[in-house]
Structure 1
Amino acid sequence: MTANGGKHGGGGGVKSDERLFAIAEHLRESGGAGVTELANHTGLAKSTVHDHLSTMRDHGFVVKDGTTYRLGLEFFAYGQSVRTRHDVYEAAAPIVDDLVESTGEMAWLLTHENGRVMYLYGGAGETEVNTNALIGSWAYMHCNSGGKAILAHLPDSAVESVVDRHGLPARTPNTITDPDELAEELAAVREQGYALNLGEDLEGIHAVAVPLLFEEEVKGALAIAGPAHRVSEERCETELADKLRASTNDIELNLAYR
């Protein structure tokens, strides 16, 4: 991304917006940076970077600590607003807490947008995973149990669009990377009612998920995950899948009477 060119970039976006997002993205990834670092990373002039930072600071989207700029809490306020806009969040959050308590494993609420899934809410159970670091993060759909549970209930054209946009990158040796194999997997998910992730995203981590369907719409997915030695394939297909299916009934009721 460079500072040269006309009003619109190659993707049709407004150049000044592209520059601002490039700055925000680097601040998110780095945890904070100065004007020189941001200019070197983005290819923008220091004066341009400074102008964008000043505007973002005026609106609360960045804060300045000495010579270092960091993302501001205004982003959090926007994120909270976006999350609560999803009615499935209010309906499922207490159910996720119940699953964490009853299983001792990680439980997650995920939803999809633009061909990926995001962790909207979750709990760590007996694991040492920092769930706060995962909430709000994106994952590929083809190697995520929640993603596959959602994909299985989308039209074929939507699945093809996801594959065209994001591909089927191999996260581990167990990741499905062939479209025909993915289609077979999604057909099995529809038949059995749950999706598995047996070390397909992270080696040594297993997960099982069910779709959250309401009024013929895929609202998201509910998943339980944990280390493979505790969350075995057999446990996923029996105890944990049963708990997830029972939990979806409560979530559907919450959605119906919200």
Structure 2
Amino acid sequence: MHESDSQPTTPVKTAQTTFRIVEALKSLDGATVTELSSHLDLSKSSAHNYLRTLEHEGYVVKADNEYSVGLRFLDLGGYARSRQRLYTVAIPEMKRLAESTGEYANLLVEENGLGVFLARERGENAVSLDSYTGQSVRLHTTALGKTILAYLPRERVDSIIERHGLPAKTDRTITDRTELLETLAEIRGRECAYDSEERIKGLHCVAVPVLSDGDIAGALSVSGPVSRMEQSRIDEEILPELRRAANIIELNQTHS
């Protein structure tokens, strides 16, 4: 997937403001008109008009003077995901992977220079996490994202870094471009990536690429608490299962 770096020649400001409001409602986890107008530096009347319009169209809901993102977005997200062939062919293998490891199985794809969780399957021993299907994450902060970066052309990687930077999520996150590029070369060499508390403290993750005609289509991972994700378990149990699942997904995506 490719990001669009070009800006629209004639941007529609009302559309831009609408999406800024939706994103603000998400980041604020709901807001009153006053809170939203202050957050976005909009007049209260403008914020109110946008919110009432979004509410009328079913994209925003109101309760006790607080507006929140509505479930109509779930319909759009579900539709967008259903159009991804990778999602359709990956789900059966992800379920088997979660069952065999007892941990979370995750599928990430790249869109607009960010990683998007296309699917997640929970094993019986999996710990609760802040991640959810559809969530966007910085690619450099996860084993999944680093795997995708490792298989993208260098100029594409450079453009993603220029656009999104390398901000830290924890004190273990790679924030130096040179270090990241060296890590990506290592990932290509061993065909897997690790994330040791680089996005979430206490969480360890191992990921492998999912290719389509030689190009990176996404990345598949297993994640779990550091206490259960010892290197010996990863090498002997999890990585073989991951690679088996990725191989089957690749074949099904190409030939089914």
TM-score by length of 1: 0.89
Partner of 1:113: 111
CA contact (8 A) 2:170 2:197 kept: yes
Q: 1:117 to 1:11 in 2, by over 3 A?
A: farther
CA distance in 2, matches of 1:105, 1:113: 26
Partner of 1:81: 79
Partner of 2:192: 194
Partner of 2:151: 153
SS at match of 2:108: strand
How far apart are residue 130 of structure 1 and its match? 4.9
1:60-102: CA deviation from partner (whole Å, max 9, x where unpaired): 1112334232222211111111111211111111211111100
Partner of 1:211: 209
Q: 1:156 to 1:245 in 2, by over 3 A?
A: same
Alignment of 1:46-125 (within 5 A): 46-125=44-123
Alignment of 1:112-191 (within 5 A): 112-125=110-123, 126-130=125-129, 134-191=132-189
CA distance in 2, matches of 1:249, 1:111: 17
CA contact (8 A) 1:109 1:223 kept: yes
The percentage of counterpart residues that share the same residue type is 40
CA distance in 2, matches of 1:175, 1:31: 26
60-69 or 92-101, larger mean C-alpha shift: 60-69
CA contact (8 A) 1:39 1:49 kept: yes
SS at match of 2:204: strand
Determine which structure has greater relative contact order: mean sequence separation of CA pairs < 8 Å that are 6+ residues apart, divided by chain length.
2
Q: 1:12 to 1:230 in 2, by over 3 A?
A: farther
How far apart are residue 11 of structure 1 and its match? 9.9
Amino acid at match of 1:253: L
SS at match of 2:18: helix
How far apart are residue 252 of structure 1 and its match? 1.7
TM-score by length of 2: 0.89
SS at match of 1:134: coil
Q: 1:130 to 1:167 in 2, by over 3 A?
A: closer
SS at match of 1:154: coil
CA distance in 2, matches of 1:202, 1:70: 26
Determine whether 1:32 maps to 2:30: yes
CA contact (8 A) 2:105 2:222 kept: yes
CA contact (8 A) 1:93 1:109 kept: no
1:162-193: CA deviation from partner (whole Å, max 9, x where unpaired): 11112222222322222222122111111111
9-18 or 133-142, larger mean C-alpha shift: 9-18
CA contact (8 A) 1:198 1:233 kept: no
Gaps of 5+ in 1: 1-8
Q: How many residues align?
A: 249
